[in-house]
Amino acid sequence: IHMSCPGFHHAPQHLRCQPLSGAGTLRWNEYDRPEEFNFASDVLDHWTQMEKEGKRSPNPALWWVNDQGDEVKWSFREMTDLTRRTANVFTQTCGLQTGDRLALILPRVPEWWLVSVGCIRTGIIFMPGTTQMKAKDILYRLQVSGAKAIVTTDTLAPEVESVAPECPSLKTKLLVSDHSREGWLDFRSLIKSASPDHVCIKSKTLDPMVIFFTSGTTGFPKMAKHNHGFALRSYFPACRKLLQLKASDVFWCLSDTGWILATLGSLLEPWTAGSTVFAHHLPQFDSKVIIETFFKYPITQCLAAPSVYRMILQQKFTSLRFPTLEHCCTGGEALLPEEQEQWKRQTGILLYQAYGQSETGITCGTLRGMKIKPGSMGKAIPPFDIQIIDDKGNIQPPNTEGNIGIRIKPTRPIGLFMYYENNPEKTAEVECGDFYNTGDRATIDEEGYFWFLGRSDDVINASGYRIGPAEVENALAEHPAVAESAVVSSPDPVRGEVVKAFIVLNPGFLSRDQDELTKELQQHVKSVTAPYKYPRKVEFVSELPKTITGKIKRSELRKKEFGQK
Ligand code: BCO
């Protein structure tokens, strides 16, 4: 991208300054640690320049559609203009400064891209969150992060208003809507009147950029804080090999805007390659609409959780031979070999697996063109050195079960999260010898392919969502019928795993119709927390298995679900 190669040169000469197809030369490779990096100025504005010089085809940078036939097509030039305006709205109108936090809770609307990049331009730390969140989820996030601003839509505005008085740090509420609302700034009209002149901050690679909330076994979600190196990693040649995107590609990532997969797949990965980001508003998941979209638009590559591919396969369409689709990648949950084969049979396209977490981004994967071992999540992607480790951080030999560890000593690799914000205990807990312990269990074979086995803790991975059992148990505890509950994962043919709740009822509810009560409890969870967490399976029991100290033995219940002893 730039003509020179600054940074620290630990890499062999032949690895430096590799060409980025059609776009000059890459400035850094995975062994460099440049002092400064900013995705907006180093990547987005570069493609704007390429466009101006006629060195990039006129494909849009963002191609957004909805099911009412509306379309937005923005060039890189327009993206630069609009995100500079957004930056000015944040700093001038809202008075936000570098380091302030902004909660970004938007569905798939074009403004999601403006806000993300506007934050990167100004050094405001953005915190993506799913629009499935309820008032309590939002309250927790605003309070724990000390967010100064929130950007959301009409649907969530009342939920935000109901908790705003309890969030003294929250100074600015921005609404993305065609209507105005009292107490809210109107994002769309502010953008129109803002100046397009803005000088991007010179961010240090290690300065904070984004926070993702991530669930654990206990307590509330933790804040995994990433620096600008997270975006730089997408730029490294080793990472570019995963998808091998070109400027002519049209890339569709189906992940909800609240997850790290969307930041990677709908923003960083495709724009680093100068590709077109394709987005469908898709307010409700509908595999029929997804299939029709693949037939209607010239999408060449796709990234989605395995559950999405499973749900597409379940649709009885006469043909799943999509005219322009060339490459499919998946991540977020385990994928079975049969599912990979079925996708190939029906679509004619191989399904490549990758693996990552909110703490790590994509850590390993089967790179495009690499031999696929069905069921394996591929090999480590540099600069991550990934090993299977025991509980003390000792590296395990091939074909031995252990935890997936990413080496952090002597050097923490670019792209790995910095730490859990305000939580040194949890940060220390996941350090294991020279490694960051992902908490995921796996093996590695002699050829360096990783094979996922499951979690080492009670975290549930349901259709690609990481769900903390305590979050669901707390929601259930608010219902008068529930004396106590234990929430674990349970196998499911479509979603991989689903949330299952074992519930001990209070005496007054023992005579209730169990199906009716199940529905009521499910509805209750959906109403008090993000609905994706609700227990799709419920079993009423007279007691829960406990240790002698009274701790619920979730692992016993989970093993029973999976038919293990
Ligand atoms: O199934 P139900 O209808 O009973 O309930 C569903 C929704 O209908 C409902 N719901 C959604 N929004 C609601 C609502 N109810 C009330 N109010 C609202 N605002 O709640 C349930 C939500 O469950 P879901 O999201 O699993 O629903 P759905 O529609 O079946 O979606 C299926 C999937 C596969 C599209 C969805 O589960 C999904 O997107 N999964 C992938 C998640 C993902 O992207 N994970 C990646 C995380 S990042 C990562 O792993 C790191 C990789 C580097």
CA distances from 367 to 324, 347, 377, 378 (A): 20, 19, 10, 7
The atom number, within ligand 1, closest to the CA of 285 reads 29
Q: How many angstroms is it from 463 CA to the middle of ligand 1?
A: 8
Locus of tokens 């190669």 = 5
Q: How much of the chain, in percent, has pLDDT values that exceed 90?
A: 89
pLDDT digits (tens, 9 = 90+) for 334-356: 888 999 999 999 999 999 999 99
pLDDT at 218: 82
Locus of tokens 């490549």 = 352
Contact present, 406 and 386 (Cβ < 8 Å): yes
| Among 253, 236, 239, residue whose Cα is nearest residue 327 | 253
SS3 178: coil
Asked if pLDDT for residue 5 goes beyond 90, the answer is no
Q: How far apart are the first and last CA of the chain?
A: 55
Asked if pLDDT for residue 19 goes beyond 70, the answer is no
Asked if pLDDT for residue 433 goes beyond 60, the answer is yes
The atom number, within ligand 1, closest to the CA of 308 reads 34
| Among 287, 459, 266, residue whose Cα is nearest residue 357 | 459
Tell me the sheet residues that pair with 232: none
The interface predicted TM-score (ipTM) is: 0.95
d(CA 248, CA 426): 43
pLDDT at 260: 97
Ligand 1 pocket, mutate which of 466, 526, 529, 536 (most atoms under 8 A from CB): 526
Asked if pLDDT for residue 13 goes beyond 80, the answer is no
Query: Any residues with Cβ below 6 Å from ligand 1, and which?
Result: 132, 255-256, 259-261, 285, 305, 307-308, 331-332, 356-357, 361-362, 463-465, 526, 531-532
pLDDT at 216: 84
pLDDT at 4: 30
- The pLDDT of 127-135, averaged and rounded, is 97
Asked if pLDDT for residue 394 goes beyond 80, the answer is yes
Asked if pLDDT for residue 14 goes beyond 60, the answer is no
Tokens of 508: 């007054």
CA distances from 509 to 504, 515, 544 (A): 10, 13, 17
Locus of tokens 């205990």 = 425
Asked if pLDDT for residue 120 goes beyond 90, the answer is yes
- The pLDDT of 318-339, averaged and rounded, is 93
β-pair type (185-186, 172-175): parallel
Q: How many angstroms is it from 326 CA to the middle of ligand 1?
A: 26
- The pLDDT of 268-276, averaged and rounded, is 98
pLDDT at 22: 41
Asked if pLDDT for residue 219 goes beyond 90, the answer is no
Q: How many angstroms is it from 532 CA to the middle of ligand 1?
A: 5
pTM of the model: 0.94
How high is the mean pLDDT of the chain? 93
Total count of residues recorded for the chain: 565
pLDDT at 317: 84
pLDDT digits (tens, 9 = 90+) for 24-62: 456 888 888 899 999 999 999 999 999 999 999 889 999
Asked if pLDDT for residue 366 goes beyond 80, the answer is yes
Residue 548 is classified by DSSP as: T
Q: Is the bond preceding residue 410 a cis peptide, omega within 30 degrees? A: yes
The atom number, within ligand 1, closest to the CA of 527 reads 16
d(CA 397, CA 417): 27
DSSP string, 122-177: HTPEEEE--TT--HHHHHHHHHHHT-SEEEE-TTTHHHHHHHGGG-TT--EEEE-S
Tokens of 7: 């940074």
pLDDT digits (tens, 9 = 90+) for 66-99: 999 999 999 999 999 999 999 999 999 999 999 9
d(CA 32, CA 269): 19
The atom number, within ligand 1, closest to the CA of 304 reads 44
pLDDT at 25: 53
pLDDT digits (tens, 9 = 90+) for 508-523: 999 999 999 999 999 9
Tokens of 299: 């999408």
